[in-house]
Structure 1
Amino acid sequence: MDIHNFKFIDLFSGIGGFHQALANQGGKCAMACDWNDKSRETYEVNYSLTPLGDIQQITAAQLPDYDVLCAGFPCQPFSIAGVSKKNSLGKKHGFEDKIQGNMFFEIIRIAQMKRSKIMFLENVKHLKSHDKGNTWKVIYNTLLENDYVVFFKVVDGSYYVPQKRQRVFMVCFDRKVFPNIKFDFPEYPAKRKLELQDVIEKHVDNKYTLSDKLWSYLQQHKENSAKKGNGFGYGLIDPKNDMWTRTMSARYYKDGSEILIYQGVNKNPRRLTPNEARKLFGYPDDFVIPVSDTQAYRQFGNSVIVPAIAHTAEQIIKTIKEYKLGGAKIVEDKGFVASKQLTLFGEGAVIC
């Protein structure tokens, strides 16, 4: 098995940010899963693979052989915006949210049914501080109890794309497969491949320009928020002067308020186009958007930033390669000859 040839499963797959990133590192997706039918549609069009539906219905018989479990599990129960919304509606959040909050334990269930050698998980930055840190303690300790070595970091996506998006990355190694392994998250790249001016299109349909009514409402809302001493309100971006946008959320389709594009003093601001949103998340130019603008905004707003995931995936492979080569060197020191063929997730060097 080639060092770059491995299989992964893509849980809570959305439109395939993990798929994009790991396939670029030589991985092959063995199975994907997402409850949203429109996201499954986008996934199938782009990857010729139809994700399964409800993760809670997946059985051991449906699980293929794989090496890496990827999951950007539902973040709304833990995000600042999600918690605020649920509080305002009198709903539970975090693990008390029985629908979304318990999805982490579905990941553990899958990992237990067919042991994951590596898990690569992603969630919102607020996961670590939610419920005074208790949510994070449960997640971290559950992973340890299942005999995984856990490494984590809050990764700032603005080093990869011109969007301020901070997320917790968790890389977990099966302790029995990789005893004593050490993992360091990669250093941020010195330069982004795309800057904001590269993302923003010059000629855009007028349908993306805000109506006078909506623009007036957003301005009033921001003024009222300022009087109350908080920072709620729209985010206006000038591509000529700004370096990045705010975080794009799944609610962007409602009014586009977190990222509005300045169009001069004589014209109302506008929303991003779906194609601009695609670029803000690092998807390639040939990525197909087969759904409506509303669905596209939801799908990108729920996505991972592809180049950030890819950079970490590259570091995972590099770490395993060095780990395996270290094992081969030990074998050679004992008087044996190790072949040059290494397995990425197997027992180590092949002994001749």
Structure 2
Amino acid sequence: MKQVHIRVEDELYDKLNAYSLQSEQSMQDCVREAVAYYVTDMKRRQKDISNKQFSFIDLFAGIGGMRIAFDRAGGHCVYSNEWNKYSQQTYFANFGEQPDGDITQVNEKDIPDHDILVAGFPCQPFSIAGVSKKNSMGRETGFADKTQGTLFFDVCRILKEKRPKAFMLENVKNLCSHDKGRTFHVIKESLDELNYEVFYAILDGQNYVPQHRERIIIVGFDRERYGKDIDFKFNLTPKIPKPVMQDILDKDVDAKYTLSDKLWTYLQNYAAKHKAAGNGFGYGIAPLDGVSRTISARYYKDGSEILIAQEGKNPRRLTPRECARLQGFPDSFKIPVSDTQAYKQFGNSVVVPLMENVAKLIVEKLKYMDAEVADEERRKVI
């Protein structure tokens, strides 16, 4: 590794020092990160994007699963945001871009214009009390009243300011029933108030990867641009043949991924205890010719939800690379973080090929509606 000595103004030094403390990195790492970001971003700006069909932003980006999906659908990412420093590290390693940090501190006016907003926003409870009080007084309420204090509010304020043609939001299946259905009701109502036509479906990733993983996908189109007569269906094309666990497994796996005798005994006793009580809790041995359970961010703890049987020894957990494949990431995807962080990141990510299929449907719909709008404009001129 080469060394470079630089001199900086006091003001710039103070900013670097503040960022060093905030990010818990050395000053040297901060400077190297800044230089790498500048050089890469300069190359990115110069890169020919003439073949790209649309622009999008990547909010709550994680490690970039949604970005890969929309890139493959013909898009060009013009902005990304992710607060977790380890996810930022993985994102930078793969896309050469450092995502913005805390979305709540970002001015929506500063975000670039874009065609599609993409976000896998966290699910949080909404306060209904203030809304109910206003309703009882006959006063109007809006998304700001209902969603303030939640990260969904940040999605709404960006939609309101930038008015992209469309959006795609992703969340856990239980969003529909969260807080007795109130959360999802507020989400739908808020998007409707922003004048977007909304469609949603619960989709399972097992048609694209060997994992049972259900997620709710919410898609919206701008009624101010396309009118109210909008129809959209989640007509997906599953992968054939259907993937199975054997497809994503490595042949030679380090012994460190094999469960210790102590942990294996604990998991067996834990499962037996709950089985005796009539519960279905316990570890899961994934069938090699089938699909696994849903991988979660807690996989780093013991790997119990997805274990691989081994002849003559204890079962093992998946390697980080196998977790990446289980979510549909390509083998070229870089994993620059520790195993613990990698397990958390892939457990929190999306099934990339599923999102890619939905992205392509959105793009096809936008092409069709844009053509209709253009025809209408031509007729007005004539």
* TM-score range for the pair, normalised by the shorter chain length: 0.7 to 0.9
SS, match of residue 283 in structure 2: coil
Unaligned ranges ≥5, structure 2: 1-48, 128-147
| Residues in 2 aligned to 1:157 and 1:173: alpha-carbon distance in whole angstroms | 24
**Residues 227 and 135 from structure 1, CA distance in 2 versus in 1: closer, same or farther, beyond 3 angstroms?**
same
SS, match of residue 224 in structure 2: coil
In structure 2, the partner of 1:10 is 58
Q: What does the per-residue CA deviation read over 1:99-141, in whole Å, with 9 as the maximum and x for residues that have no partner?
A: x982111211222232232110000111101222111111111
The answer to whether the 8 Å contact 2:113/2:164 transfers is no
For 1:215, give the aligned amino acid. Answer: W
| Residues in 2 aligned to 1:109 and 1:331: alpha-carbon distance in whole angstroms | 29
| Residues in 1 aligned to 2:373 and 2:153: alpha-carbon distance in whole angstroms | 33
| Residues in 2 aligned to 1:331 and 1:61: alpha-carbon distance in whole angstroms | 29
| Residues in 1 aligned to 2:50 and 2:243: alpha-carbon distance in whole angstroms | 32
**How far is the alpha carbon of 1:238 from its aligned partner?**
3.3
2:333 aligned with 1:287, yes or no? yes
Structure scoring higher RCO (CA < 8 A, sep ≥ 6) equals: 1
Q: 2:295 aligns with which of 248, 257, 273?
A: 248
In structure 2, the partner of 1:153 is 201
Q: How does 1:91-130 map to 2 (within 5 A)?
A: 94-95=125-126, 102-130=150-178
**How far is the alpha carbon of 1:192 from its aligned partner?**
4.9
Q: 2:245 aligns with which of 196, 203, 206?
A: 196
Q: What does the per-residue CA deviation read over 1:78-113, in whole Å, with 9 as the maximum and x for residues that have no partner?
A: xxxxxxxxxxxxxxxx336xxx98211121122223
SS, match of residue 177 in structure 1: helix
| Residues in 2 aligned to 1:26 and 1:151: alpha-carbon distance in whole angstroms | 22
The answer to whether the 8 Å contact 2:245/2:287 transfers is no
| Residues in 2 aligned to 1:330 and 1:10: alpha-carbon distance in whole angstroms | 32
Higher helix share: 2
2:67 aligned with 1:19, yes or no? yes
SS, match of residue 188 in structure 2: helix
**How far is the alpha carbon of 1:246 from its aligned partner?**
0.4
For 2:280, give the aligned amino acid. Answer: G
Q: 1:316 aligns with which of 343, 355, 362?
A: 362
2:335 aligned with 1:259, yes or no? no
Q: How does 1:59-74 map to 2 (within 5 A)?
A: 59-74=107-122
For 1:127, give the aligned amino acid. Answer: L
**How far is the alpha carbon of 1:262 from its aligned partner?**
0.7
In structure 2, the partner of 1:325 is 371
SS, match of residue 313 in structure 1: helix
SS, match of residue 292 in structure 2: coil
Aligned length: 314
| Residues in 1 aligned to 2:59 and 2:379: alpha-carbon distance in whole angstroms | 41
The answer to whether the 8 Å contact 1:159/1:192 transfers is no
In structure 2, the partner of 1:54 is 102
2:234 aligned with 1:185, yes or no? yes
| Residues in 1 aligned to 2:149 and 2:317: alpha-carbon distance in whole angstroms | 31
The answer to whether the 8 Å contact 1:74/1:101 transfers is no
| Residues in 1 aligned to 2:239 and 2:112: alpha-carbon distance in whole angstroms | 39
SS, match of residue 202 in structure 1: coil
| Residues in 1 aligned to 2:235 and 2:198: alpha-carbon distance in whole angstroms | 16
**How far is the alpha carbon of 1:163 from its aligned partner?**
0.5
Q: 1:216 aligns with which of 255, 265, 268?
A: 265
**How far is the alpha carbon of 1:4 from its aligned partner?**
5.0
2:163 aligned with 1:138, yes or no? no
Q: How does 1:82-93 map to 2 (within 5 A)?
A: none
2:91 aligned with 1:43, yes or no? yes
**How far is the alpha carbon of 1:194 from its aligned partner?**
4.0
SS, match of residue 185 in structure 1: coil
**How far is the alpha carbon of 1:64 from its aligned partner?**
1.1
| Residues in 1 aligned to 2:80 and 2:120: alpha-carbon distance in whole angstroms | 12
| Residues in 2 aligned to 1:316 and 1:104: alpha-carbon distance in whole angstroms | 21
Q: 2:284 aligns with which of 232, 235, 241?
A: 235
In structure 2, the partner of 1:205 is 254
Q: 2:347 aligns with which of 291, 301, 310?
A: 301
* Superposition RMSD in Å: 2.3
SS, match of residue 182 in structure 1: coil
**Residues 159 and 126 from structure 1, CA distance in 2 versus in 1: closer, same or farther, beyond 3 angstroms?**
same
**Residues 42 and 113 from structure 1, CA distance in 2 versus in 1: closer, same or farther, beyond 3 angstroms?**
same
Identity of aligned residues (%): 50
**Residues 95 and 211 from structure 1, CA distance in 2 versus in 1: closer, same or farther, beyond 3 angstroms?**
farther
2:300 aligned with 1:269, yes or no? no
The answer to whether the 8 Å contact 1:160/1:192 transfers is no
SS, match of residue 10 in structure 1: strand
| Residues in 2 aligned to 1:45 and 1:321: alpha-carbon distance in whole angstroms | 32
For 1:247, give the aligned amino acid. Answer: T
Q: What does the per-residue CA deviation read over 1:42-81, in whole Å, with 9 as the maximum and x for residues that have no partner?
A: 0011011110011110013431111111100124x5xxxx
For 1:13, give the aligned amino acid. Answer: A
Q: Which moved more, 1:243-252 or 1:100-109?
A: 100-109
For 1:27, give the aligned amino acid. Answer: G
Structure of higher CA gyration radius: 2
Q: Which moved more, 1:267-276 or 1:186-195?
A: 186-195
Unaligned ranges ≥5, structure 1: 78-93, 337-352
Q: Which moved more, 1:115-124 or 1:326-335?
A: 326-335
| Residues in 2 aligned to 1:120 and 1:145: alpha-carbon distance in whole angstroms | 17
| Residues in 1 aligned to 2:51 and 2:95: alpha-carbon distance in whole angstroms | 23
